[in-house]
Amino acid sequence: MFLLKKQNLRNFIDALSQNEAKLKVIVPIQKDDGTIYYDEYEKNKDKEIIIEGRTDFSPKKYFLPEIEEIANFEKSENEVIIKEVLNNEKRIIFGIRPCDLNALLFLDEVLIKYMYPDKNYEARRKNTILIAIDCLEACNKSCFCSYLGTNIAKGYDICLTKIKEGFLVREGSNIGKNLLEKDGIRKILEKTDKEPKQISFECKNKINVEKIEELLEKNFESKVWQEEAERCLNCTSCTQVCPSCYCFYVKDELGFDDKKSRRLKCLDSCFLDRFSRISRDFVFRKSNKAKLRQFVCHNFYYSLVRNKMIKCVGCGRCIDVCPVKINIVEIIKKIRGYDGK
Amino acid sequence: MENKMLPTKARVIEIIDETNNIKTFRLELIDDEAKKKFFFFPGKFVMVSIFGYGEIPLGISSSHHEKRFFEVSVAKVGNTSSAMHNLKIGDIVGIRGPFGRAFPYMRMKGKDILIVAGGTGIAPLRCLVNALLDERESFGKIWLIYGTKNKNSFCYTREINKWKESGKINIVLTTDEKCEDELICHGLVTDYLDKTDLDYKKTTVALCGPEKMIENCAKKLISLGVNQDDIFVSLERLMFCGFGKCMHCNISTKYACIEGPVFTLNEVLEMKAEA
């Protein structure tokens, strides 16, 4: 265990960004409009690094960018050359919160471990070092991570815990251990016997996920879906801010001369008609009710059955961005209330 | 592990105009390794890339006993399928797969078989029919009921005539619109389900077609006494990956690209109505 003094936080990040492997350091900062998001430290040295509270956006874009080239094709007279495109940029994400870390663990399960791996996600994941910051209390009124166990940091390379004097720094992997031993970094840290306190806070937004897959299966036709979905605008804000939403579509982009083209993997949203549209314009999930149910059931039911994990990490972002105040926790509560009646 | 999102190349070696809107493409994989590994049973699908225009899931329509090439049939309905219709012999397409679960071909052996196709739903079933006829003696009675909009929308007409002539299979062709041809019946496929000499309690059924047709056929078949576990339905869904990542083919806890596209009727009924 190391101690990083409060006044040395910047030096620590500077040292990370000056290491020999030429890793890009990504940090949470605040935009001029007030949004807290992740960006390159190098470009934002004048900005404060936000180490407390939830970030408005998770660092998902570094693993699942909105649009990513996955292959390109070059046609000639009698041949086509297919090239694989993988992102090999090395990064350190500093300040990732426990909820977003847990979202990555879920994505690992679905996109890497389940069946064949998604090579593009896997490459980005392997090339990223994660430096987490523990949450010591519920960071806002919407989050409900403590009821899902996603308030505990897991799967990090290094983790920081805030204490009075600064931060306790611990390693979570060999990569993290090696990084902490690097000259420029080691000298900023002091050895300490202190241990971080056990994390045991409870969020205000209470959710009961006991046997939730059974509850949702049983109440698939519940009137709650219609009641809640009626006002949905299909704006897709919820799926955009969700740290664990990963659905994608693939499209080709043709060059000007018909010879070169790129294949793009783009994030999609289950709130759109195009999500379930097949030939002859037939849309399977047409109604708002069916779309909202898909979103909620994927989070709390399908993921649990298929991947043995709840997809939702309880960050509460979807609740806060919804322009018509659709609230995933309220939906579950309402369904439980109606259950068996 | 290899990148499953990367296609391997196949050359178009023949193009057959089935109707004014449907073409069949005979494809040969270029890479020998890929060719050796390419193995499927009727009902499986491949992702076909038209480079620069996109990728679409298509059921394989040729018999799995044919090892030199395979065929896919496609209706001109969207961007990618339209681009595909512009292909010429010798052009190169991309192939990923085969993916998905097939009809239980091996378990069908010794059984009576009823195949019901609506419109372009014939494509994966043509694969099944040809495979069954390749090993005709291994199966009981075989019936095909194939319905389309009108006389001009039948696919594989030359082949169907050959099937008829062989006497190895009973075929009912039917059209929604009335037509003069005395060999073609008038009406929906559901009207002819009970007009066979099959022992429905011991029959295995393979279904593919529009959602509405599947629904009505299922009801009728159950009333005729077919066991729900013996009715196999091939469903159409939007797909972008083929191995459970993109979520577009997700139906309740199932994925059409992994547990499907061929489901038992029981499974389909368990997947709650989604509209």
pLDDT tens across B252-270, in order? Answer: 888 999 998 999 998 888 7
Q: At what angle do helices B157-166 and B122-134 cross, to 10 degrees?
A: 30
pLDDT of A122 higher than 90:
yes
User: Residues of B near A (CB-CB distance < 8 A)?
Assistant: 1-7, 9, 49-55, 75, 77-78, 81, 90, 92, 94, 211, 236-238, 240-241, 243-248, 250, 252-253, 258, 272, 274-275
pLDDT band (50, 70, 90) for residue B115: very high
pLDDT (0 to 100) of residue B273: 60
pLDDT tens across A261-301, in order? Answer: 999 999 999 999 999 888 777 888 889 999 999 999 999 99
pLDDT (0 to 100) of residue A340: 55
Chain B residues closer than 8 Å to A246 by CB: 245, 247
pLDDT (0 to 100) of residue A5: 93
pLDDT band (50, 70, 90) for residue B186: confident
Peptide bond into B42 cis (omega under 30): no
pLDDT (0 to 100) of residue A305: 92
- List of residues 6+ apart from B213 with CB closer than 8 A: B118, B121, B147, B188, B189, B190
pLDDT tens across A233-267, in order? Answer: 999 999 999 999 999 999 999 988 889 999 999 99
The answer on A166 and A72 residing in a single domain is yes
Q: What is the mean pLDDT of residues B27-54?
A: 93
pLDDT band (50, 70, 90) for residue A105: very high
Domain boundary pick from A137, A161, A191:
A191
The answer on A235 and A141 residing in a single domain is no
A vs B: CB pairs below 8 A? 124
- List of residues 6+ apart from A247 with CB closer than 8 A: A239, A267, A268, A269, A270, A275, B246, B247, B248
Edge-to-edge strand list for the sheet holding A79-84: A79-84, A67-76, A260-267, A248-254
Asked if A114's CB is within 8 angstroms of B248's CB, the reply is no
Asked if B253's CB is within 8 angstroms of A285's CB, the reply is no
Chain-wide mean pLDDT for chain A?
A: 92
The answer on A183 and A216 residing in a single domain is no
The answer on A68 and A217 residing in a single domain is no
Cα–Cα distance between A277 and B248 in angstroms, integer?
A: 9
Domain boundary pick from A162, A191, A220:
A191
State how far residue B248 is from chain A, nearest Cα, in angstroms. Answer: 6
pLDDT tens across A165-221, in order? Answer: 999 999 999 999 999 998 889 999 999 998 888 888 999 999 999 999 999 989 988
Supply φ then ψ for residue A168, to 5 degrees.
Answer: -85, 135
pLDDT (0 to 100) of residue B252: 85
Element (H, E) at A75: strand A67-76
- In a domain? residue A100: yes
The answer on A161 and A228 residing in a single domain is no
Cα–Cα distance between B172 and A308 in angstroms, integer?
A: 47
For an interface test with A, the pick among B234, B250, B251, B255 (most A C-beta atoms closer than 10 Å) comes out as: B250
- In a domain? residue A150: yes
pLDDT (0 to 100) of residue B211: 84
* Encoded tokens for B25: 């493409």
Asked if A246's CB is within 8 angstroms of B252's CB, the reply is no
Q: Helix or strand or coil: residue A82?
A: strand
Q: What is the mean pLDDT of residues B83-91?
A: 95
Under 8 Å between Cβ of A293 and A286: no
pLDDT tens across A3-37, in order? Answer: 999 999 999 999 988 876 678 999 999 998 999 99
- State the pTM of this model: 0.92
Compare B2 and A38 and report the one with higher pLDDT.
A38
The answer on A289 and A154 residing in a single domain is no
pLDDT of B127 higher than 80:
yes
Element (H, E) at B221: helix B211-223
Tokens 């009924």 -> residue: B269
The answer on A92 and A220 residing in a single domain is no
pLDDT of A60 higher than 90:
yes
The answer on A225 and A289 residing in a single domain is yes
State how far residue A107 is from chain B, nearest Cα, in angstroms. Answer: 10
- In a domain? residue A199: no
Supply φ then ψ for residue A7, to 5 degrees.
Answer: -70, -10
pLDDT (0 to 100) of residue A283: 85
Asked if A70's CB is within 8 angstroms of B52's CB, the reply is no
The answer on A131 and A59 residing in a single domain is yes
pLDDT (0 to 100) of residue A284: 85
Q: Which of A120, A252, A287 sits opposite B54 (nearest CB)?
A: A252
Domain that holds residue A287: 212-338
pLDDT (0 to 100) of residue B188: 87
Asked if B9's CB is within 8 angstroms of A261's CB, the reply is no
Asked if A71's CB is within 8 angstroms of B5's CB, the reply is yes
Residue of B nearest to A251 (CA): B54
Q: Pick from B5, B92, B8, B99: which is nearest to B50 by CA?
A: B92
Element (H, E) at A217: helix A212-218
* Encoded tokens for B241: 């990956």
The gap from C-alpha A26 to its chain's centroid, in whole angstroms, comes to: 14
- Range of lowest pLDDT (A143-152, A155-164, A275-284): A275-284
Cα–Cα distance between B72 and A251 in angstroms, integer?
A: 21
- In a domain? residue A250: yes
Asked if B1's CB is within 8 angstroms of A117's CB, the reply is yes
The answer on A11 and A95 residing in a single domain is yes
State how far residue B94 is from chain A, nearest Cα, in angstroms. Answer: 9
Chain A residues closer than 8 Å to B274 by CB: 276, 284-285, 290
State how far residue B201 is from chain A, nearest Cα, in angstroms. Answer: 32
Residue of A nearest to B252 (CA): A302
Q: What is the mean pLDDT of residues B35-52?
A: 93
pLDDT (0 to 100) of residue B230: 92
Tokens 């046997």 -> residue: A211
Asked if A80's CB is within 8 angstroms of B9's CB, the reply is yes
Under 8 Å between Cβ of B257 and B247: no
Chain A residues closer than 8 Å to B211 by CB: 282
Domain boundary pick from A191, A225, A250:
A191
pLDDT of A65 higher than 90:
yes
Structural domain count of chain A: 2
Q: Which of B236, B247, B253 sits opposite A247 (nearest CB)?
A: B247
The answer on A218 and A149 residing in a single domain is no
Edge-to-edge strand list for the sheet holding A166-171: A36-40, A24-30, A91-96, A128-133, A158-162, A166-171, A2-5, A190-191
pLDDT (0 to 100) of residue A86: 94
pLDDT of A113 higher than 80:
yes
- In a domain? residue A202: no
State how far residue A207 is from chain B, nearest Cα, in angstroms. Answer: 22
Q: Where are the beta strands (DSSP E) in chain B?
A: 8-17, 22-29, 45-50, 54-59, 70-75, 92-99, 112-118, 142-148, 170-175, 185-186, 203-208, 231-234, 250-251, 254-255, 262-264
Cα–Cα distance between A207 and A187 in angstroms, integer?
A: 44
- In a domain? residue A200: no
- In a domain? residue A38: yes
pLDDT (0 to 100) of residue B54: 94
- In a domain? residue A205: no
pLDDT of B222 higher than 80:
yes
Asked if A120's CB is within 8 angstroms of B244's CB, the reply is no
Q: Pick from B196, B194, B195, B178: which is nearest to B186 by CA?
A: B178
Chain-wide mean pLDDT for chain B?
A: 91
The answer on A220 and A145 residing in a single domain is no
Asked if B247's CB is within 8 angstroms of A298's CB, the reply is yes
